[in-house]
Structure 1
Amino acid sequence: MNAPASVPDDETARRVGLPPGSRLHETRLASGLTIAAAEVPGARRQRLVAAVGVGYLDEPGDCRGLAHLLEHALFLGSANYPDSGELACWVGERGGRYNARTGETVTDVHLHLPPGDTDEGLTRLVDVLAQPSFNPERIGSEVEVLDAEFQARLADPALHRLVALGRLCREGHPARLCHAGNRKTLGVDRERLVMQLSTFHRQHYRAERMALVMLGPLPLEEQLERLTRHGAMLPAREPTPPVRHWRWSEPGGVAWHPPTAKAGTHSRTTTLELFWPLPEEQASTHADWLASVAARLADGRLAATLQAAIELEQLEVTLAPDGMGTALALRLTPAPDMEAVQAMLVACRSALERALAAPLPTPPSAPLDLDAWPRLRAAELVANQQDTPQPAGATTEPLLPWLAPEQCRLLWQSPTTPHRWATLAETGTAWRSQSPPGESLPLPWRAPPSLAVRPVYPSVDDPPPRPLHRDERFTLWAGDPARLPDAPPASLCLGWPAPASQQAARLAQWRQNTLPLRQVAASHGMRLSCAGDARGDWLIATGTAERLEALVELAVACWPERTAPAPTGPAEGLLAQRMLARLEALPPPGANAAGSRHVLGWASGCADERAAKALIRHLAERLTNMPTEADEPQHEVREGTTWLSPQGSDHAAMLELAGPDDTPRSRWLLQLLAQCHDAAFHHEMRQRRALGYVSAVRYREASGFPRLGYVIQSPGTGADTLRQAILDFLTRQGETLAQLSPAEMTRRRLGLLSHAGRPETHAEATDRLWQSLRRQTASGNASAPWQPLPWEAEEQALAALRCDDLLSLARDLAMGRLATRWWFHRPSGADA
């Protein structure tokens, strides 16, 4: 299909950004099914994705939410696997993961499995796609789940953004309406709903509308054979592709805000989106040219220009904006008032004119994400069922009118104002038409940061990791213990102590300060990551050795020593997700880095060691001269209760289990327990007790310390009932689920290694090595040799675990002998 026989499979893989040594082959079977196999030798697990070219814009107008309900119904039983939740249990037992997503025009289901389970995984995946059972009672219960999800999402600005975006669409077009789905839009007639689901499934879930994509370490030929064999089970019928009309009304703008927004909300909760809708066929034909245009818009110049006038925190440029179909879009934050919006619009229009005249010749490749790649590729394949190769010498002239200034649409998440706002009845979204601002004087253009090319004096050999310098102020390591095929030429990591208080605000300010710098780095094929945790702040920079010193030097200069508290805005995402995120931000037991000023560095690849030493010495001197800041006292996790401030209309409860230490053994044990409990906990709370939309057991880490969260989000069940439900599960089922036979333990180990074994990419290896070095230094073992590799130590710890170790952990949890903490959320106005 997209890989003609004359093009080698490895060359095809290289073109789409897969790691060196990979092979890719895509073809279309006689049934019309598109299959794609990607052999990535360094991958740990096999990714399986099935995509269908149907989404919520294809739903019947009298049953909004039907596509989303069908996605849920796929997991409620199928012809050969009739039990509800059977796929979830099977995947969980193998240490895998599964999920699904319904988009505008594509629905996908994806599994991550150990390579040895691929064949059965495909069998089960194809069965749920081809033969879902549609049990009326289960469908009725799932409607209640979707309604609970809808009610929960009413507190999420992302839902209101999509609803407001519909105001820019033509009357009568499906994109003008909300498709989240709830009890009212889906109805209560179960028999009728089952008939609609069956009809919708029969019309759209057909081989010629689908793609199966696989990525993993299995040989290419084996992957293709399995995809072909299992794909033959998908039904092939006469193609009746959905008719999709142009959605957009005349160019214009909409301002909006969530119903929970309050007057006086800080301006950083505001966002401006500018987008130019494009015809799909022409955009596909000229995809490379559009990527070059987008890369020019993100080369740092526009960001630097806007930052000089506005406290710009984010500037994202994308050709795949959420909810906008095919478009070139810019997303800018914050956009505090009309004057700022006008300045942004003028600058962006001018920048687009420049980009159209001089696109970036070689757009930088996106960071490799092996989890995301199969999903994105499957969506592309079902969206372009017919090959659309760009003709030789094809001109981009037909696209230029679509990118004219007057074709720009504007979507502004605005602060509340005294002006009159309309309200959408279904969601409560506040909105009003917003005409694009008139002409104004353009902002003076600012040059982006310059990455000076400097002479490099790298080591002539490739020595093993060694401490290049060590004293009371800083330690610098050099050498690379693991260099994967996709390794960049050089990398430099720096870390230093920083107060835990106001860390979120400090990191936000640092990322804001480095926005133009990170874009400039990307335009040169380099990467800069700025992050922090309870042990301090750090950066990781990778790319060409000649520019690496300049990149790191500028990034360190952008780090704010002091910052104001971060403003708060409307909470985003589901409440349960936000509660689980708390577990990743907690400090390690006894952590307090405020009194230390020791700086840590690591140079690898062909990085200039002399330059790295000079940089880290300068940073150490800067920290020495920095005034101390009183830090918040750190407390160890102990039994207790935390009540969260009201953040929505749902109740929620979470039991946090803290690991005793940050050793690989503790991390593996908690991950094993999560695997054993998750599917059963989900079924017990969501299916049997019908407590709420979200019920899950999730593993999290904070600075390497492991934690589990047993979380339930419910629209109407109080905290005491949710708490008791979690305790009942642990005492009645917790030990039984953790009683594994030796064969089951072996299978679980293989599953864990497929999920968190040896690194799949050099970026992952660098991050894991860096965090291991930071933990080693924080523990006071800075003088110890850097051996063994962290994943080797982790494999040894996993191999040493026995069945009784896991059972003992589950028993201690059920008996209340472990360090736990309860987190509760109660809506404002709810009874105490």
Structure 2
Amino acid sequence: MPDALRALTLANGLHLTLRHAPRLKRAAAALRVHAGSHDAPVKWPGLAHFLEHLFFLGTKRFALDDGLMRYVQALGGQVNASTGERATDFFFEVPPAALAGGLERLCQMLAEPDLSIERQRREREVIHAEFIAWSRNPQAQKRYTLLQSVAPTHPLSGFHAGNRHTLALQEPAFQQALAGFHQRFYRGGQITLSLCGPQSLDELELLGRRFAGLFAPGERAAQIQPPALTHRSTSLVFAHESLPPGADHALEALIACLSDSRPGTWLDALRQRGWLQGFKAEPLYSFAGQMLWHIDLKLGADVCSEQARDLLLGWFDFIRQVDPEQLNAQFSLLQENQARSASPLDLARRDSAGLPFAALDAQGLLALRALLEDLPRREGGQWQLPAPDSLLLADLPATQAQPRPAALAVSDLLPTTRQYAAVYLRWKVPASLHQPLYDVLDRALQPLLARCERASLQLQSSTVGETWQLRCSGQPAAVVGAVERALAQLRSAHEWALPAEQQPALIPIRALLKQLPDALVGATPMPQPGAPLDQQALDDAWRDSQWHGLAVGFDAVALQSLSTVLQACPGQIGAPVAVPRWQGRRWHHAQVPGTEHALLLFCPVPADQQACGRLLAQLLQGPVYQRLRVELQLGYAVFSTFRQIEGVGGLLFGVQSPHATQAEILDHLATLLRQGVTLDPAARQALAEQFDESAMANADVAEWAWQTHLATQTDDLPALRRSILMMRQADLDALSSSLLNAQSNWLCLANAPAPNQWERL
């Protein structure tokens, strides 16, 4: 059944959009203020971004520990904000019953913020830490460089992030500008609020009217029109002026066409030549008919970029000649699949941006024609528009029924009515073969990974120690089809020649998170890829491997089809083996890019104390954020949570700081653990409710089932909820004490050697 939509304008001028989607388990709100960094006074770069940060520091009505961020996090939800060039977005996702509480906090903090000078001083240091990280991040600097291709008079070429020097708090003129920006733009006519959830349209409208009325009335303020882009030509950056309305949606349709790598397309031509290492197309800027977008094309070292560009321009020329309705029909299928798989937060954010998951309307088709006509021209190439992707049609493969493989376990934790399924497959091969084999597998899957992404399927491969894992999730029939294609690729050698995709450099804390599973199982980093295996070596590797897997969310018909497809799964029958518990504390010095100090601390919790560990982690979230992020201002990357990794559950703390050393970070964390926590019955109840299947995201349910499978435990969510509700203060105190014991099995992963006090903490 399609979603029900409603749009209206409130008395204060605020535009309200509502989406009733009964299939959703959660609800979301997305609020867009039509003003961003380019609307702030030129004299004060970063003012809009700074104001966005200040909103989250609490108000007279909702203090920091009861503000939007803490409220949402305590419910296991998501919350964030972002400042763009011409819009600022605030958004969160929570259980449906909590939407009112979140919406009240969101609207109140934006309408009536506390802009006291002391708060400003603290938050400016956080902004400065972000600026330092941004200035050292290769991806951020690459984007900044791309924006320098426009005219120097255009605001895109300027600096808008803000730092300690541009945010002159002591200047009365700055304070007037800050207050004036809020007064001018954070009012009804400047705001679009989108609500999405399983609630009825009337319920959503009631909530919207109740809390959006907090904003002062006012008409939409005119945003200053920018000067011409006058783009200095670069090979794969495209600039447009005076595009008609609907251009953002039209560009999305064009990028969907460009990202198709099936036979007959330009990406397939690049792959056939062995040139392609990576592809991504993304918008850089769009406002008032102006648009700047970029194709990030990674090619082999010996490839002539001009030849690749000629292929692209030939593809543009071909697309110009295709019937737009034919392009739109395929785009519509992609959009329908994205809408079905989208989270409430995805849907709300698209609605607030005026970009719902839908085919191009008449206006969008006109914009697509204008966009195509404005692109460079070059004839040539033998092209064809592929037929609609079978992965989008969601038909089960035509197969003869076969028994379920003994290596495949099945979880019924996720009801089949959700129309979401996930399958996990994991192989282990002899140590002498795992590196060359896994390198081959990752390369062979590259075309299918791109195809699945377009079809809103999550296909992921990962390596931990001596194991290689494949995960596929999405609409059940499409998952079966994708797994069938993946297994065919894994047993074939014809894609070996593909070069490995270049991965962007990660900031230190993210690089550590990527290495954490290997550190947990005690694996050493893999060497660089060596010579590829030949067909005989590949067959030998599969013959000596063992595999096991888990299927979640399949009905009987789809499971039978999956079982038949898995008859082609290479390797012998295996079973999960729980990660052995280590004794004592372990420190891993990881070599990762970046110069800022970064540290992850993982404190494993015994399986029979997982409920207590989750509650302890929940109650520590607030104090950790308050102490490290707000009071000490160690940096903007500070988090604490409970995490299951390779079946091992534990408390995970992470900090990245430009000035605090790893030893200092560790001292602060140990101090917080020693202080302990006080049991909050309301927090305990809220945590227990997070583990009701009807409240969990489908992907989270599947991951819970997989993690318990790896731990060789039962996936009993009701038992976990009951255990959480039974926790008492004495249980929390006992677990905190055991975690601080000198013999506790802490695992620390950091980009520095162990400090002297590591063993004494």
TM-score range, shorter chain: 0.7 to 0.9
Which amino acid in the other structure matches residue 131 of structure 2?
F
What are the Cα deviations for residues 712-756 of structure 1, in whole angstroms up to 9, with x where unaligned? 332223333322222222213xx2x2x214444223323x337x7
Which residue pairs with 1:283 in the alignment? 246
Q: Which residue of 2 aligns with 1:349?
A: 313
TM-aligned CA deviation for residue 608 of structure 1? 7.5
- Name the counterpart of 1:747: 686
User: Which residue of the partner structure matches residue 648 of structure 1?
Assistant: 594
Superimposed CA distance per residue, residues 158-179 of structure 1 (whole angstroms, 9 cap, x where no aligned partner): 2202220222111211100232
Q: Secondary structure at the match of 2:598?
A: strand
Structure 1 residues 649 and 210: CA distance shift in structure 2, 3 A: same
Cα pair 1:655 1:822 within 8 Å, conserved: yes
TM-score by length of 1: 0.73
Q: 1:529 aligns with which of 456, 459, 467?
A: 459
- The 1:724–1:403 alpha-carbon spacing in structure 2 relative to 1, beyond 3 Å, is same
Matched, 1:692 2:664: no
User: What is residue 342 of structure 2 aligned with on the other side?
Assistant: 369
Is the Cα contact below 8 Å between 2:459 and 2:471 reproduced in 1? yes
- Give the 3 Å change call, closer, same or farther, for CA 314–238 of structure 1 in structure 2: same
Give the match's secondary structure for 2:223.
coil
| 1:774-831 superposed Cα distances (whole Å, 9 cap, x missing partner) | 537xx4x9xxxxxx7654554455455455433432232344553213333359xxxx
How far apart, CA to CA, are the structure 2 residues paired with 1:307 and 1:393? 30
Equivalent position SS for 1:253: coil
Distance verdict in 2 for CA 1:577–1:599, change over 3 Å: closer
In 2: Cα distance, 1:378 partner to 1:546 partner: 31
1:139 match: secondary structure: helix
User: What's the offset of the Cα at 1:182?
Assistant: 0.9
1:307-346 to 2 correspondences below 5 Å: 307-318=271-282, 321-323=283-285, 331-337=295-301, 339-346=303-310
Correspondence for 1:554? 488
Structure 1 residue corresponding to 2:515, chosen from 553, 558, 582: 582
Residue 622 of structure 2 aligns with which residue? Answer: 679
Hey, what does 2:646 align to over in structure 1? 703
Name the count of aligned residue pairs: 708
AA at the equivalent of 2:193: L
1:59-208 to structure 2, matched below 5 A, reads 59-81=40-62, 86-187=67-168, 189=170, 191-208=172-189
CA separation of 1:191/1:507 partners in 2, compared to 1, >3 Å: closer, same or farther? farther
Q: Deviations over 1:286-342 (max 9, x none)?
A: 936962673365152333211122352433345xx2456675856445234584422
CA displacement at 1:232 relative to structure 2: 1.0
8 Å CA contact 1:305, 1:443 repeated in 2: no
2:546 maps to 1:597: yes
Q: Secondary structure at the match of 2:588?
A: strand
Question: Secondary structure at the residue paired with 1:657?
Answer: strand
Partner Cα distance (2:143, 2:257) in 1: 26
Matching of residues 238-277 of structure 1 within 5 Å: 238-245=219-226, 248-253=229-234, 273-275=236-238, 277=240
The residue identity in structure 1 corresponding to 2:375 is L
Q: Give the Cα separation in 2 of the matches to 1:637 and 1:728.
A: 23
In structure 2, C-alpha distance between the alignment counterparts of 1:642 and 1:46, rounded to whole Å = 40
- Specify the alignment match of 1:540 in structure 2: 472
Distance 1:108 1:814, change over 3 A: farther
Name the counterpart of 1:258: none
Q: Deviations over 1:573-619 (max 9, x none)?
A: 3x33333443355445899x998614547594576878755653443
On the 8 A contact 1:468/1:478 being kept in 2, the answer is no
Shift of 1:654: 3.5
Alignment CA distance shift 1:485-1:589 (3 Å)? same
The answer to whether the Cα contact below 8 Å between 1:656 and 1:820 also exists between their aligned partners in 2 is yes
Choose which of 353, 359, 377 in structure 2 pairs with 1:405.
Answer: 377
> Residue 215 of structure 1: CA displacement?
2.4
State whether structure 2 residue 43 is matched by structure 1 residue 58: no
Listed one character per residue, the Cα deviations across residues 540-571 of structure 1 (whole Å, up to 9, x for unaligned) are 37546996686244333368999999798773
Is residue 2:403 matched to residue 1:468? yes
Secondary structure (helix, strand or coil) at the match of 1:692 reads: coil
Aligned CA distance change for structure 1 residues 657 and 290 (closer, same or farther; 3 Å): closer
Whole-Å Cα distance in 1 between the matches of residues 655 and 284 of structure 2?
A: 28
Residues 288 and 238 from structure 1, CA distance in 2 versus in 1: closer, same or farther, beyond 3 angstroms?
closer
Looking at structure 1, the residues matched to 175 and 361 of structure 2 have their Cα atoms a distance apart, in angstroms, of 41
After TM superposition, give the deviation of residue 95 of structure 1 in Å.
4.1
Query: AA paired with 2:566?
Result: I
Return 5+ residue gaps in structure 2 as ranges.
Answer: 525-540, 574-578
Q: After superposition, give the CA deviation of every residue in 1:491-549 in whole Å (9 maximum; x if it has no partner).
A: 876443357899899767645433433455677x5846132354532243754699668
The one-character-per-residue Cα deviations of 1:88-126 (angstroms, maximum 9, x if unpaired) are 344444444422111222212223333333323222211
C-alpha distance 505-126 of structure 1, shift in aligned 2 (>3 A): farther
**1:283 aligned partner, one-letter code:** G
| Whole-angstrom CA distance in 2 between matches of 1:178 and 1:195 | 21
- The one-character-per-residue Cα deviations of 1:134-176 (angstroms, maximum 9, x if unpaired) are 1112212211221122112222112202220222111211100
* Distance (whole Å) between structure 2 residues aligned to residue 28 and residue 341 of structure 1: 50
Query: SS where residue 362 of structure 2 aligns?
Result: coil
Determine if the alignment matches structure 1 residue 298 to structure 2 residue 260.
yes
Shift of 1:34: 1.6
Amino acid at match of 1:707: G
1: CA distance between counterparts of 2:387 and 2:134? 39
Contact 1:315–1:330 (CA<8 Å) still a contact in 2? no
Q: CA deviation at 1:620?
A: 3.1
Q: Which amino acid aligns with 1:676?
A: L
Is contact 2:30–2:195 with CA below 8 Å preserved after alignment?
yes
Percent identity between matched residues is 19
Equivalents in 2 of 1:135, 1:283: separation in Å? 41
Contact conserved, 1:77 with 1:134, CA < 8 A, in 2? no
Scaled by the length of structure 2, the TM-score of the pair is 0.79
Q: For residue 63 of structure 1, report the CA deviation from its aligned partner.
A: 1.1
Q: Does structure 2 retain, via aligned residues, the 8 Å contact 1:510–1:530?
A: no
| Residue 677 (structure 1) shift | 1.4
CA–CA distance in structure 2, aligned partners of residues 138 and 29 of structure 1: 32
Report the secondary structure of 2:510's partner residue. Answer: helix
Residue in structure 2 matched with residue 729 of structure 1 by the alignment = 672
Matched, 1:49 2:13: no
Call closer, same or farther: CA 1:636–1:279 in 2, change over 3 Å: farther
